[in-house]
Amino acid sequence: MSEQPPNPRKRGGATSSVHGGELRQQEANAITTPIYQTSTFWFENSEEVIEYQEGRKDREEYGRYGNPTWNAVERKLSELEGGEETVLFASGMCAATTTFLSMLKPGSHLIVTSDCYRRTRQFINDYLGPMGVETTVIEPASVAAIEAAIRKESAVFFTESPTNPYLRVIDVPETVKLAHQHDIKVIIDSTFASPVNHRALDDGADLVVHSATKYLGGHNDLLAGTITGPAELVDPIRKTLGVLGGIIDSHAAWLLLRGLKTLALRMQRHNENGLAVASWLEADSRIRQVWYPGLASHPDHETAARLMSGFGGVVTFEIETDLEGAMRFIDATRIPYQAPSLGGVESLIELPVTMSYWDQSPEQRAELGITDSLVRLACGIEDAADLIEDLDQALAQV
């Protein structure tokens, strides 16, 4: 099989989305990478087994450790992110938890931001804590808060950027500068950005995590996670994955490979729709507040404008109403599906209070900033005018 073109990381994002990581000469001269639907890989003879075990033969052995379909996705994402290596996982949560388990030992200290995915916080509290890992939770987008939280045991700073649900944007270069002075690794969950809008590795981050279920897959039809970075950090995580077994199946990997080919095009539309909808909402008197990094009113707009090339399709806003009114609004929308997740071609909408925090007390929700009328809209690639018209008529039902 022929190699990829030289210096692939110098290519444009759209070209890398289509061609990155894919062998020019596939089996039977196919254009697309095949689905290698196999659990194991056979050896020609004992000598080949020995060559493989001694690292003189680069090939696959068993389906928990690698698959040619996975490999194509991993190479493509490494090119898109500007990293040396990528590992695929069965889900974004699997990517995060496997990375934590690989990098954090009993007695080590983790710094994490408060505005992040609820299940990530749950894993930190329910699993890392009992394992002897101490955690400090800080306000997002504050380098001073990170500095105040640092201890001699601090090993990892983990955050989303943008965060969920308030879309806070981290000043990655300044964060990295501070963290590396104390030998702390910086891990950025870039799910809400995608490598099209922000390449955190270029800003010095050590590792980048994605829930590939979202923008990378792009069609609400798969679950996957990824982590990208230098080989010295990624290889131990890959070995941990081989032990824990949270692997992606080859068909889901192929769906992800197909979805990635349109990533640059889809992100352009997500960015356009997000900004158009956010701008319209901010001008509407029925809306109390809008959070979108592309708006000058967002607390991290200056940072986002400096680091990001686009601001994504997720818009968070609060309606001038109570829970019942917010539910009437959600139920009256006709284009978005009421569902969790984001990043697909179809728009999705939710009330975080009912979708993710219904089992929390009002006091717990207030502490996390989850109000009864907070809405998260993940704009798809529909026409922005249609989305706005739909929001307008739904707001009239409040």
Catalytic-residue membership of 56: no
């000598």: which residue's tokens? Answer: 47
Q: Which member of 185, 199, 214, 261 is catalytic?
A: 214
Instruction: List the structure tokens of 171.
Output: 């000043």
Query: Among residues 163, 121, 156, which one has the least CA distance to residue 142?
Result: 163
Catalytic-residue membership of 117: yes
Give kind and range of the element (H or E) at residue 102: helix 92-103
Q: How far apart are CA 143 and CA 177, in angstroms?
A: 10
Q: How many CB atoms lie within 10 A of CB 121?
A: 16
Q: Which member of 36, 117, 215, 292 is catalytic?
A: 117
End-to-end alpha carbon distance in the chain: 60
Residue 177: left (phi > 0), alpha (psi -120 to 50), or beta?
alpha
Catalytic-residue membership of 189: yes
Catalytic-residue membership of 239: no
Q: How far apart are CA 292 and CA 278, in angstroms?
A: 7
Q: How far apart are CA 334 and CA 322, in angstroms?
A: 21
Q: By the 8 A CB rule, do 299 and 141 touch?
A: yes
Helices 384-395 and 323-332 pack at an angle, to 10 degrees, of 140
Instruction: List the structure tokens of 256.
Output: 């992800």
Q: Which member of 11, 52, 57, 64 is catalytic?
A: 64
Q: By the 8 A CB rule, do 263 and 215 touch?
A: yes
Q: Which member of 189, 249, 372, 390 is catalytic?
A: 189
**Catalytic site residues?**
64, 117, 189, 214
